[in-house]
Amino acid sequence: MSDTPQTQHLGQMSSLPASPEEAQLDYVPNPRIDTTYLVRFVSPEFTSLCPVTGQPDFAHIVIDYAPGKTIVESKSLKLFLGSFRNHSGFHEDVTVGIGQRLNAEMKPDWLRIGGYWYPRGGIPIDVFWQSGPPPQGLWVPDQGVPGYRGRG
């Protein structure tokens, strides 16, 4: 038996999944299992579709997590996030759904997601979710996304 995990995307040609439900996230063993640390993924050009108008919604997504036994493989995460391009959902559902899926499958020690949605109809919407309090001793930096200020 090999120590290399079986993954669908790592080192393979992969197509963008048609939907988030079809997307497979790959997880590999945490290489620093005895260390408390934070991993951050940023998707500054995230898109999904408005469930009312069908028009694109744009967001800056920040995912922070403290790994447990596994880490998410970044290519599979990129494909998963890209699969929302043709997915209809309200900002709240999309943001929280991404966080909850990662939390349920990966089982990190802690996870938070910030969805900083660009204005539609003149109102920016920021959505935040976390799995619980961060682990003792974990350095949790600010997500670094300023509040929307318009053109001024």
Query: What residues are annotated to the active site?
Result: 50, 57
Contact assessment for residue 88 and residue 57, using Cβ atoms and an 8 Å cutoff: no
- Nearest-angstrom CA–CA distance, 152 and 94: 29
Report the sign of the C-alpha dihedral through residues 117, 46, 20, 77, in that order.
negative
CB atoms within 10 A of CB 76: 21
Strand order in the sheet with 56-66: 39-49, 56-66, 110-120, 123-130
